[in-house]
Structure 1
Amino acid sequence: MMQRRHLLGAAGLLAAPAVAWAQVWPTRPVTLLVPWAAGGGADTVTRIFAQGLERELGQPVNIVNRTGGNGITGHAAIAHAAADGYTIGTGTSEFVNFRTLGLADFGPETLDLLSRLATIPAGVTVQAQGPWRDFAGFAAALREARRGQITGSGVGTGGSWHLAAAGMCRALGLEADRIRWIPSNGGAPALQDLVAGGIGVFTGSPIEAQSLAAAGRVRVLAIMGEARLSTMPEVPTMREAGLAWSYANWFSLVAPRGIPAPVRTALLAAAARAHARAEVQEQMRARGIVPVWDGPEAFAGFVAGFGETSTALLRELGLARA
């Protein structure tokens, strides 16, 4: 009996710090790192979500943009932060491909994958004064054009919107690199290049192109999502246009690996409640962003499938280094 009591007492002492962690966290502001610049898709999703997270935690959530290295700098900062629950981050699809592209020894296992937060579908956007009035016309021109004759942009080489273009070309029965990719620092400069006639197509988010479309300077021909955008209901999906291809960039909640289990549990519960708040859902949908909360297990499975698809496309593009 004495031995049993001794063991129970020891177990209680070992469990006490874990219980204390859960009871006191958070006692100070939480930092949420974003690997991309302010004003972009990742930043927008993060700021909307952070409003709900602040209310659920009862502490400020400070957003810090850590840019550079095609997303490597910010993602690495998240992975290397103290694993205490006070520094978390927004992960974007690029971190899945860092190793494949030979950019860094960094993969999904480097981070604690908590959940997706949102998706933003790709699209096909062209000059308003150009010859293509609908996706069928653009697809026909792409089939007839020489390899590389039509140029596209929206992100750096091998990035999300480049993969969207490559997958679309493959779905049309063409080479993955039928569209010659012109790297850019984001959607805004790429769209300006499109308006100026420097590129033929922008395969980034139609949301970024919305103001230019409203001004009659560009035309969005199709959405690569599973459903039409509420903010652009007149634009058909690619599936409606007859092509079995969809692609959406995604944004997720990630953290350093090794956060104490009680804190991780509390963080996940608060984040799920924050994501489900009406004002968070409404603000995302009002911008054409699709809210998603799938949790750690489903998110890990999604990432594995995404990695297989993106690696195959990067190999066809001749960009895979690993």
Structure 2
Amino acid sequence: MSIPIQENQIVQYIKELVSIPSPSGYTEEVISHAVSFMEKLGVSYEITRKGALLATIKGKDDTKHRLLTAHVDTLGAMVKEIKGDGRLKLTMVGGFRWNSVEGEYCKIHTADGKAYTGTILIHQTSVHVYKNAEEVKRDDDHIEVRVDETVKSKEDAEKLGISVGDFVSFEPRFEVSDSGFVKSRHLDDKASVGILMHLIQVMKEENITLPYTTHFLISNNEEIGYGGNSNIPAETVEYLAVDMGAIGDGQATDEYTVSICAKDSSGPYHYKLRQHLVELAKANDIGYKVDIYPFYGSDASAAIRAGYDIVHGLIGPGIDASHAFERTHVSALKHTAHLLWHYLRSSMIE
């Protein structure tokens, strides 16, 4: 049968997801968005104690299960300190560099539900005042948030309800170019979540029965290392993380294909599952690259570290400038969706 995958629908899901602020630890709204999606399609699900969503589609074989995961939590920050002039010092949530968010618009999410806008800057931004502005180190001591309110003191900021521990999210600035590039923060990993959502939609609308009961874990703590390390049903044999492919010098991954990970900082992924994915790609004209990510970890590697006896793998669309100004191409989304489509309908490896 022809594959009823629509890239424009995947892009729309990604746009909706990145518009919802969800730094790790602040993911209730985006998980609620995923819940509404599952309920609309009639997909059974549960919410874990850690706040993730585990959706299940029953297959022909209910004795052996598959689990696919992608994460909706993103990079972000927290208010570390309110300075005397009312500006905010930050502490990172997730692994990135301050220079990658310098000049970015952001939102400060207060405990009483308000959201104030601001801009992330180094303290010595003005070249008309600070002669050494370009030499200042981008670190916790020099990066701050300029709040878009009349704030002249610590007391002014506190009167707004801003306090230490408030989450700070980064504006995504989502765009799709005429040439098919998708530009946005947080494509890691909302691009993959959008792909899984579309596949679930297609399977439900086309009344497709999968060969095995399959779970879809929308995890919410991956950026801090433990998103997918629990709530894995005991019948799970194969566990496939769907997360971005990292691009850079020495990497095979590009923005136009699906990346199949052979090894990351946690060690090799399951060889037979990797080869199964490669064979599916070759047999179905799917553009792919096999790659190694030296400074990377996934929900699948977190599950292995937690002691689960599973076959684990990792694939995802190639994404440029990871943990910074991210970009991919619709062709990478398409190839990833097609590989997942064929994987979900394939037999388990022996």
Q: What range describes the TM-score normalised by the shorter chain of this pair?
A: under 0.3
**Structure 1 length-normalised TM:** 0.25
**Structure 2 length-normalised TM:** 0.24
Query: Which protein shows a greater Rg?
Result: 1
Considering Cα pairs closer than 8 Å and 6+ residues apart, tell me whether 1 or 2 has the greater RCO: 1
More helix by share: 1
